[in-house]
Each structure stands twice: as structure tokens, then as C-alpha cells.
Structure 1
């Protein structure tokens, strides 16, 4: 493995952001109409190591700042949360109820795959104890809103509220229920299968994509609202509905993620390294692994041919063996886990997001943009964000991607201008607060 970049060394088994980091809402005042909200999630939100954990942690912080009363039901999947992190969760909720994901509960959940043909991820996270706890709480009439993050937890809360279009007279004592699909897992699983590195993975994701499609076409009908990131996700679920003879999805609202613009920002105290590229993410995630492999194998040789001193850092925790192999290529660095990826992003001349699979939005892309960096990304990477052409460069073919990177390395003035526009775009459109204020407005509309 090549040496890690200079701003910060790889840290072995320390977690990214090993100094405990908590969401801090900016310029948020109390809501005039506080709500009673039940939030259901399939993990613990802290430490924030994944995009979904960041999203839920920031949501809890926002709801607390707005004065809403939140009960939080989650599954403890074994991640090690520090005492202060658990204290933070307790402070930001009226009560929090966690259940352990052990072998017995996982096996009981997985029986749903065979008996009801639900996707593997839905079966695995249909925790019997969480179903019991949530349903008992909701039946007590304690909530205005039940918010379920990710469709893998849909079995926990299905049919607890009123479907879209229910007359007001028939809603008495029932909450409005929101299912945060975020992205279409049908689209995501199909793309992963297409880019799978071997036959076992390909077969698994082919089967899972079919189960997901069948499930997505039906499950939205059991909730008041569906939350999606972008139009492509809504279109995919609508198409699945048509293929399965179901009513077409009509209850969706858009609810994207934000980013921490105080942490990811232009850094005048860190000098960008010449001809240095960065890609970041959790490097055990199949979509990130495929992206790194595609870039190193199909794009990187053309860049090195013209810029022989160029370097490329793959930044992120838990790199797989396939990712570690990439460090054998000239100029490629695999950092492993680092305390703060934002510092390594600051070292880059250009950031790349070469996603070949995935759906929804890419948190890493708005982190690059918030950092004021020039970016080359694929259409899939920009799909859920739709960043305009004056903020980044989009390229899908290997030769086009390489050329776009080389052109930016050769034109620092243009790279700086793109980075400035990217930062401005994130500040205006992609803060956590702006997205959660829209979501809160959708809560009120669903009730009224």
C-alpha cells in the first residue's frame, strides 16, 4: 500500500471522526405547532459512519431544536457507541427504545422471506420485539407522525396510520405515517447486480432486485406518504407498480439529505497537492467498491499517461480486499479509516465520484461540493442531486472521464471557479436545515 496523504495519516482501527462529533442545527427556532413524532430506524445513529446514520442523527437534532417530542425506536446492530453518544440520543428524544439484533431475531425475521417473499433486507430488519414495542406505543394514541427511515423497516409500521386520501372523519386517533424510501432499492439492486464482480454476488442481487421490485410496488400503499430523494426514484417505483399490476405511486414527497457545511468547507490552512485526486466513502459498500475499481482500472491509466506524477487517494473505512489490491497500481493510495475525511478532501486538486451503481443521492458528492472542490462525476453520481453544469463536470465513458479530470488539472483557474460555484450551490440548496424544514412542512400538510 502506498503512503497515506500528508494532512492526516491512516489510523488503523480508529473510526472516522474518532473525536465524538454531534449534529448542531444552525439558525433553527422552535416550531409554533409542536408535534409528537415516532421515529423508527434499523440502526443506531451514532457514531455517524454511514450516510443514513448522519441523516437520522441530524433529523433527531433538528426535531429537538424545533421543540417536537420524539420517541425513537432503533435496532442495536452491535456498533460501539460511546457513552456520550448514547447520552446525546437520550437528550434529543423523549424516550429511546433499542432492541438487539441477535441470531435468533435475525432468523425469525428471515422467515418472512420464505413465507411472504419480502426482500432479504426487509426480512432481516423485521425485528419481532421492535414490531411489538412500536405497535404498542402507536396504539396508545401518542403520536401525530410516525416516521420510518428506510423501507427495510416498513414491516414495523405498515398500516399503523391512515393511507393517502383517507377522509378526515376517518383519521381520528391515527397518526400520519411516512415511509422514507429515500432511493428506489429496485434501481439500486439492479445496478449492483449489473456491476457485480462475480457470479454469486450477481445471482444474489438479481434475486434481491426482483423481491425488492415486488415489495416496493405494494408497500407504499400502506403509508400516508412516501419520501423519495429524486424524480428517478419515483419513476422507478411507478414503473414497478405498473409491471406488477398495482396502483401507481401517488403519495410521494421529496426529502433529500443535507451536509455539514461547517465541517466540509474550503480550507485555507491546507494546501491542495498538485495533480492529486480523492474519492471517499465507506469502502466495504459494493457500490463504492465498484466505483473505485472502475476508475482505477479504466480511467486512471490515461490520467497517469499524461500526468505521471498524479496521485489518487481512496479514502474511507473498512476497505475490502478488492480495494486494497488497487493500491498496487502506481500512484494509488488506499488510506483505510481516517479521523476526518474532510481534511483529506481538502488536499485534493480534483475530487472524483465515478459511481456505476446506486440510487438516490450521493452524500460524498455534496461533501466535495461543500468543500469547494472541482469535481468530475458520473451521471449516476449526480442523479439524485441534479447539480448544474456550472458546479461540476459530468462524464460517463472512461475516456471522457479521464479527459475531464486532465482538463481541470491543467486549468486551475477553472477548477477554482467550479469549486466556488459548487460551494454556493450547497449553501443555497443542500443544508440539513433547509431539507428538514421542507419535511416538517410535509408533516403538517399530511395532518391538515
Structure 2
């Protein structure tokens, strides 16, 4: 059964002054944007609370900072079975919340049905089958409640679909033929999603059938991704690399790079956290396959080389819902698996080196920005650093094979001054490049471009 929850935080109409914007609303300078506010509907694929993993952080902080900037933000959220939370946890960061419970669990019958009888999306060339990865987030009941919300609280100046997992709803809005169907719809793309499956399909520890199925998911996801980008009004890409792909497949769509922001921890907070010598950490959601793949590679292939040279070295692994494959690698001596932790900053800052061993994925890794913001020396791969304007050996060390990754970790563990200097450079970089006021201005600039393409 589908359950609807509605929370009205206030009257949802911020600013009653005379409209001077041309968008139907007006507002005051709040420190971010001067001269106007917008009515924005954000469609979320999950309740982003607690904001600990990268996706949740981006979604939670985006809504909060848009509201903080004076904009009138309503939230429509798919309250998934895996990340179910009371919708009130996001009530304070927006004007109005509508939450719809939805079951997104992966099941063998569901995957089999999708393989032969997938949901399909109309396109100029006929119809496109949805991949099972995306179809799990499709709900006719949720769509009906979304249409009700648009009838009740519209019009909005712009609608934002947060990630490809909500883009189906954006397409449905644009193609519904209703009074609000002309509202510009922006895709906030956290990744180029099909690339993740393409890269995971090459994972050697998977069986031949698993690799074939992931290639199948990648192909269907790519077809829908291309259709969504072409049909919607704009794309907020999270990195220049991602933006380049979106522009290549949809030259008529407005595409801008809107990187995530970061909340910078104060200097005195960092100074109060003692660093444990010869410690490394991996801090990431253990529900996401690329994180699991990278953690296993590091523990099984790189960590033995580090321990051989530094027997006192200890790796601490933390993150939401580690599976049996990660838990089995805990030995209590050189590898300690903690599961989900309460204070990510203390955990990360107390370790001498942060490692982000990624070989799959797209977009920008929030955990890398957070490590730099915490002033922690960092080793990652080329895929991990993808989309970030960092310099190898400057703010981070980039290494893609077992030997060079182990060498970089040993060097930073042994040479404390080198590690501290890298941490300071990374922190200065994060502070300069990832402030939220800058990112909100970027996002609102994209909104204005899709609302008034001619710049009027």
C-alpha cells in the first residue's frame, strides 16, 4: 500500500512584496542572491537523512541552502524502503514536504519481469525500455500524488529532478498536457549513471552472467539517460567531464556545471582532534557497489604491501550497511570494520591518511572534498579524482595500481610533515572552490537560463 505524508511548514509563499522579477515572485537579499526569489519544486529519490553519504549530503544541503538563500522550496520525496525516514526530518529545510512510501528493494522476480516486460517511456523513435535499476523508482501512485501537488501548490518557477532516478517523473510532467506542463524541469545529475554500470560490468570478481546483466543494465540506462537529457529543460552536471557527455548527446539542452558545496569545519574543531599515527581510513557508503569494489581491492591487494613495510599500520573502514564481503575482511589488527559511525569528521580527521580507491563511478566524490575540508592527506585513483581540478601531489596523490598506491600511503604515513602539508593544501582548496554560496548562485543561474533562455 502506498502511504502519503504531507507536512506544511509554513504558508509556502515567501515574500509578499511587489513583484519586480518577471518570475511572479519577489524577495529580499539574504546574503546569497539579491533581487528575487523563486518557487522551486525539488523531486527527491529518497529522504536525504541523515546526510552522511555523498548523495544524501548533496540533496540535503542543496535544499537547505536554497531555502537559506530566500527561495520558496517545496519537496516531493520518494520515501524508499531501504532509506525510510519520517518526512519531518527534512521539514525544517524547506517550505512544504510531500512524502510517498515506495518499495525499491531489488528482487529476483522484479529483475526477471523487467528483463522481459519492462516499463517503457515514449520517445521520438518509439518507446524506450527502462532498466530495472531505474524502474524500481517508478510508481503510478506517486505520480498521481505529484500531479495533485502541482495542482494544489503550483505554479512553480522551476522543477528540479534530483538524479536520474526521478527523471521519469520530470518527463511525465512535461508530457502530461496540463497547465503546469510547460514549467521548466532541470535534471540535477549526480553522475552519468550508465557509466557506473559500464565500469562495474568489467569487475573481474563477477561471473560472466553478472557482467552480461550489468552491460544490459548499462545499455538500457544509457538510452533513457539520453532521452531524459534531450527532453528536459536543463541539466546541472556535477563535473566538467559529465557536462561534456550531456552536451554531446543533447546539444539543444542547457547544461551547466554545478559542483557540490561543502560545510567547512572550523579550524579550532580540527585542532582539537588528535591524529592517530600509522592509521588509514575508508569512509563511504557500503551500499554502493563501486565503494565495495574499491574497498575490497585495497584491503586484499594494497594493504598487505603496506603492512609488510609498516607492521603497525591499521586501516579503519566505516560506512552504512557493510555486507558480508566487507565484514569478512575485519581482522581486528590491521583491518577494523566499524560499520556506520556517529561522527564522520572525528573519524576522518583522527586518521593520518584517507584513501578513496575507486575504479567505477562518475560525477564528483563528496568524500574526497570532505577529506580535503578536514585537512587529511588523501590517496585516490584517477576515477576517484575525476571531475575535480586537483593536482597530483598537490592536494591529493593519484595512484592507479597496487604498487604506486601502497607507496603513496607508506610515504604519507612515514612522513608526517608531508602529510600535514598536503592536508593544509587540500583544506585551502576545498574552502576556495566549494563554498555553498557560490554553488547556490551557480544553480540559480541555471534556473534563470531555462526560465528565460534569451536572457530576458
Shift in Å at residue 153 of structure 1? Answer: 1.0
2:355 counterpart (352, 357, 380): 352
Aligned to 1:445: 449
User: Aligned match of 2:237 in 228, 240, 249?
Assistant: 228
1:256 to 239, 256, 259: 259
For 1:210-221, list aligned pairs within 5 A. 210-221=219-230
Q: Deviations over 1:263-307 (max 9, x none)?
A: 798622222111111111112321111111111111111111111
Deviation sequence 1:73-130 (CA, Å, 0-9, x none):
1111144536xxx4453343332111111489x9799697254411223211122122
Distance 1:188 1:370 in 2: 26
Whether the 8 Å CA contact 2:381–2:400 is kept in 1: the answer is yes
CA, structure 1 residues 366+114, in 2 after alignment: closer, same or farther (shift >3 Å)?
same
TM-score norm. by structure 1 comes to 0.83
Matched, 1:188 2:196: yes
Question: Cα gap change, 1:112/1:32 in structure 2, threshold over 3 Å: closer, same or farther?
Answer: farther
Matched, 1:127 2:136: no
Which of 117-126 and 254-263 deviates more?
254-263
Measure the CA separation in 2 of the matches of 1:62 and 1:112. Answer: 41
Q: How far apart are the structure 2 equivalents of 1:329 and 1:296?
A: 13
Aligned length: 404
Q: Which residue of 1 aligns with 2:412?
A: 408
Question: Are 1:321 and 2:334 matched, yes or no?
Answer: no
The 3-state SS of whatever aligns with 2:336 is strand
**Structure 1 contact 73–130 (Cα < 8 Å) conserved:** no
Tell me the distance in 2 between the aligned counterparts of 1:310 and 1:41.
Answer: 41
Aligned counterpart, 1:4:
none
Structure 2 contact 375–426 (Cα < 8 Å) conserved: yes
The equivalent residue for 1:340 is 343
Distance 1:300 1:92, change over 3 A: closer
Partner Cα distance (2:376, 2:414) in 1: 15
After superposition, where does 1:259-338 map in structure 2 within 5 Å? 259-262=262-265, 267-328=270-331, 330-338=333-341
**Contact 1:112 1:123 (8 Å CA) reproduced:** no
The C-alpha deviation readout for 1:379-422, integer Å capped at 9, x for no partner, is 11110223223111111111011111111222211111110010
- Provide the rounded CA distance (Å) in 1 between the counterparts of 2:266 and 2:203: 33
Say whether 1:93 aligns with 2:94: yes
User: Higher mean Cα deviation, 355-364 or 89-98?
Assistant: 89-98
For the residue of structure 2 that corresponds to 1:210, the secondary structure is: helix
Q: Which moved further from structure 2: 328-337 or 282-291? A: 328-337
* 1:323 CA drift (Å): 0.6
Residue 185 of structure 2 is aligned to residue 177 of structure 1 = yes
Once the two structures are overlaid, the 10-residue window that deviates more, 228-237 or 211-220, is 228-237
Bigger Cα displacement from structure 2, 116-125 vs 276-285: 116-125
Runs of 5+ unmatched residues, structure 1: 1-26, 163-170, 242-246
**In structure 1, distance between residues paired with 2:318 and 2:267:** 15
Does the 8 Å contact 2:40/2:74 carry over to 1? yes
- Following superposition, the deviation at residue 431 of structure 1 comes to 2.6
- Provide the C-alpha distance between the structure 1 equivalents of 2:34 and 2:158, rounded to a whole number of angstroms: 15
2:165 to 129, 140, 152: 152
Q: What is the CA distance between 1:435 and its match in structure 2?
A: 1.3
Change (3 A) 1:264 1:287: farther
Q: Provide TM-score, normalisation by structure 2.
A: 0.81
Asked if the contact 1:353–1:377 (Cα under 8 Å) also holds between the matched residues in 2, the reply is yes
State the Cα distance separating 1:446 from its structure 2 match: 2.1
Deviation at 1:193, TM superposition (A): 1.7
RMSD: 2.8
- Are the structure 2 counterparts of residues 361 and 62 from structure 1 closer, same or farther at C-alpha, using a change threshold of 3 Å? same
| Aligned 8 A contact 1:299 1:398 in 2 | yes
The structural deviation recorded for 1:136 is 4.2
Give, in whole Å, the separation in 1 of the partners of 2:267 and 2:417. Answer: 21
Task: Say if 1:173 and 1:306 are closer, same or farther in 2 by CA, change over 3 A.
Answer: closer
